[in-house]
């Protein structure tokens, strides 16, 4: 038999229409050899009847089957007596509902609005003989399931959300069996309909939030069978710059090498190598304000434990995981961090960031300013130091991975440039050296030579041993600052000229 005209005319451009089998009703009748609710019946034809909900599709098919089945001829042998008994449709019902398309409700932006005037009693009558074979009547509980989500939602701040259902594998198996046995026109999985129907109900009862499947602040994951709920929460990312004002703390938490964080005699049971870190000095305040569960600092490179980061500081992104709150004032946050941790770490230029900016920060080409205090067992003659330090900026530095980091970095030779170098010899015979270099150049080795693994070095040029007493980072320059910062313009261009392409990978794994 041919398809009803309202189906064909509903969305003529849809390629699925070409595949509508002549036996649309045969498929429906086959499906009704099992006791199905209207949702589960209609879902087999989810691409037909644009603007209809699956429940309406299912009901319409049941009505048509009942009408066709009432013809007392042999043209529809597929509508068995058993199926006819599952079609308790009376003429009054059909007249009452009129089979009108769904009215244009405020929720019509949803793909499949359901008609609010729908006669639910009719559906209940259908499944009176037992629960729906496929969904076990889960669609009777949509409001209840939405309440479970709303209850959880009240504990989180978010502006976009989505709902996902975790299905019982047995339900999914039954659905696949039905598709195999009876076919269907682009059937929709039960999970999709549940997600949408529950999401719609949650959306209607929340103010000022949007439904966003692609990248929501929060995804509520519901188990419809057990009514349990978990949520996946998008972290909050905050970009800024930090200055590390003391020596002796690492950039990020550093678990004890001996016990790997469990706590042992070597670390006094703390499980850590150092008492605190830049990460904790910033993160502990932010995680408290946003009521998060954990945090992680992503820095644009890192400094050694005994190195300070001064000047304009180092760009970083703080990731706060599972935050209950998402809104914050960067100015207030800055104040809280600086008042709480200002003796060790200070921050400035905070703003909200996104996950996409994390790899940009970590892999960004950059120039770095350093200040080092050096001494030597030989005397540091001012003229000689000045001459040799200027040589450092005249040829590329070939630097093999330093001995001190070789256990965790690939052993290879990196070629880097020193862009500016100056020196001041102090009255006590020590000297202060200021440098502007490519990111990823190890500065201590540039000065003391690392037993010949860095060439040239200040030590090899001067042919005397050099000791680096202190080293400070005076600023990490973003790519956009390299060409504009005072005094850096020519050197910014020089970076491009020497390297052609920035050595992002090498730089990423390198440490000053």
Q: Which residues ranging from 126 to 185 are in contact with Zn ion (CB under 5 A)? A: 132, 134-135
Annotated catalytic residue 304: yes
The one among 24, 28, 37, 421 contacting Zn ion by CB under 5 A: 37
Q: 40 or 389, CB closer to Zn ion?
A: 40
Helix 24-31 and helix 169-182, axial crossing angle in degrees, nearest 10 = 140
Q: Least CB distance from residue 225 to Zn ion, whole Å?
A: 13
Segment interacting with Zn ion, rule: CB under 5 A, options 4-12, 27-35, 124-132, 461-469: 124-132
The one among 221, 259, 305, 336 contacting Zn ion by CB under 5 A: 259
Q: 37 or 238, CB closer to Zn ion?
A: 37
Neighbours of 311 (CB within 10 A): 18
Is residue 360 part of the contact set for Zn ion (CB under 5 A)? no
- The site string for Zn ion over 76-115 (x = CB under 5 A, - otherwise) reads ----------------------------------------
Complete DSSP assignment for 119-148: -HHHHHHHGGGS--TTTTTGGGGHHHHHHH
Q: Least CB distance from residue 266 to Zn ion, whole Å?
A: 5
Q: 37 or 233, CB closer to Zn ion?
A: 37
Where helices occur in 70-135 by DSSP H, the ranges are 81-85, 91-97, 120-126
Which phi and psi angles does 142 have, rounded to 5°? -60, -40
The one among 165, 256, 320, 350 contacting Zn ion by CB under 5 A: 256
Q: Least CB distance from residue 194 to Zn ion, whole Å?
A: 10
Say how far apart CA 58 and CA 1 lie, in whole Å. 19
Query: What is the SS3 assignment for 153-186?
Result: HCCCCCCEEEEEECCCHHHHHHHHHHHHHHCCCC
Say how far apart CA 344 and CA 283 lie, in whole Å. 13
Q: Least CB distance from residue 253 to Zn ion, whole Å?
A: 13
Query: H or E segment at 191?
Result: helix 190-204
Taking Cα atoms as reference points, which of 344, 346, 444, 432 lies closest to residue 386? 432
Is residue 258 part of the contact set for Zn ion (CB under 5 A)? yes
Is residue 41 part of the contact set for Zn ion (CB under 5 A)? no
Which residue in 304, 438, 450, 472 is the catalytic one? Answer: 304
The one among 20, 31, 40, 320 contacting Zn ion by CB under 5 A: 40
Complete DSSP assignment for 256-313: -TTTTTS--TTTTTS-BSSS--HHHHHHHHHHHHTT-SEEEEEESS---TTEEEEEEE
Using an 8 Å Cβ cutoff, are 164 and 149 in contact? no
According to DSSP, the β-strands at 236-244 and 307-321 are: antiparallel
Q: Least CB distance from residue 228 to Zn ion, whole Å?
A: 21
Q: Which residues ranging from 260 to 299 are in contact with Zn ion (CB under 5 A)? A: 264, 266-267
Q: 31 or 333, CB closer to Zn ion?
A: 31
**Catalytic residue list:** 304
Residues that bind Zn ion (CB under 5 A): 37, 40, 132, 134-135, 256, 258-259, 264, 266-267
């Amino acid at each position: 038999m041919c398809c009803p005209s309202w189906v064909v005319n509903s969305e003529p451009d849809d390629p699925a229409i070409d595949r509508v089998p002549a036996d649309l009703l045969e498929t429906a009748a086959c499906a009704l050899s099992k006791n199905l609710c209207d949702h589960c019946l209609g879902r087999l034809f989810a691409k037909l009847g644009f603007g209809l909900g699956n429940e309406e599709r299912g009901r319409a098919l049941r009505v048509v089957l009942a009408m066709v089945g009432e013809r007392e001829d042999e043209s529809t042998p597929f509508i068995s007596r058993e199926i006819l008994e599952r079609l308790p449709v009376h003429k009054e019902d059909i007249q009452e509902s009129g089979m009108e398309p769904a009215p244009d409700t405020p929720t019509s932006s949803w793909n499949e609005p359901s008609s609010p005037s729908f006669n639910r009693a009719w559906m209940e009558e259908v499944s009176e003989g037992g629960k729906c074979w496929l969904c076990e009547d889960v669609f009777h509980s949509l409001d209840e399931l939405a309440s479970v989500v709303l209850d959880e939602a009240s504990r989180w701040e978010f502006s976009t959300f989505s709902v996902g259902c975790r299905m019982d594998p047995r339900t999914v198996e039954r659905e696949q069996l039905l598709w195999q046995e009876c076919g269907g026109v682009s059937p929709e999985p039960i999970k999709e309909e549940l997600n949408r129907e529950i999401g719609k109900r949650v959306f209607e009862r929340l103010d000022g939030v949007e439904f966003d499947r692609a990248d929501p602040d929060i995804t509520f994951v519901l188990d419809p069978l057990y009514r349990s709920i978990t949520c996946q929460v998008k972290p909050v990312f905050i970009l800024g710059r930090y200055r590390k004002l003391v020596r002796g703390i690492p950039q990020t938490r550093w678990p004890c090498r001996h016990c790997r964080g469990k706590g042992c005699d070597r670390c006094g049971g703390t499980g850590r190598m150092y008492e605190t870190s830049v990460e904790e000095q910033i993160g502990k305040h932010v995680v408290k304000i946003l009521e998060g569960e954990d945090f992680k600092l992503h820095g644009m490179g890192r400094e050694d434990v005994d190195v300070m980061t001064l000047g304009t500081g180092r760009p970083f992104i703080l990731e706060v995981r599972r935050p209950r709150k998402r809104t914050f004032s960067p100015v207030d946050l800055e104040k809280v961090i600086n008042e709480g941790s200002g003796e060790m770490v200070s921050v400035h230029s905070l703003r909200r960031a996104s996950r996409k900016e994390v790899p940009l920060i970590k892999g960004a080409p950059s120039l770095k300013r350093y200040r080092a205090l050096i001494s030597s067992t030989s005397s540091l003659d001012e003229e000689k130091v000045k001459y040799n330090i200027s040589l450092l900026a005249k040829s590329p530095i070939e630097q093999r991975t330093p001995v001190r980091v070789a256990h965790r970095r690939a052993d290879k030779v990196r070629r880097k440039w020193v862009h500016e170098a100056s020196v001041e010899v102090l009255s006590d015979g020590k000297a202060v050296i200021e440098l502007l270099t490519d990111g990823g150049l190890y500065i201590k080795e540039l000065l003391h030579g690392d037993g010949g693994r860095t060439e040239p070095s200040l030590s090899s040029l001067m042919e005397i041993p050099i000791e680096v007493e202190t080293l400070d980072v005076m600023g990490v320059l973003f790519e956009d600052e390299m060409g504009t910062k005072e005094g850096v313009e020519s050197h910014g261009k020089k970076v491009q000229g020497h390297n052609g392409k920035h050595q992002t990978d090498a730089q990423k794994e390198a440490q000053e």
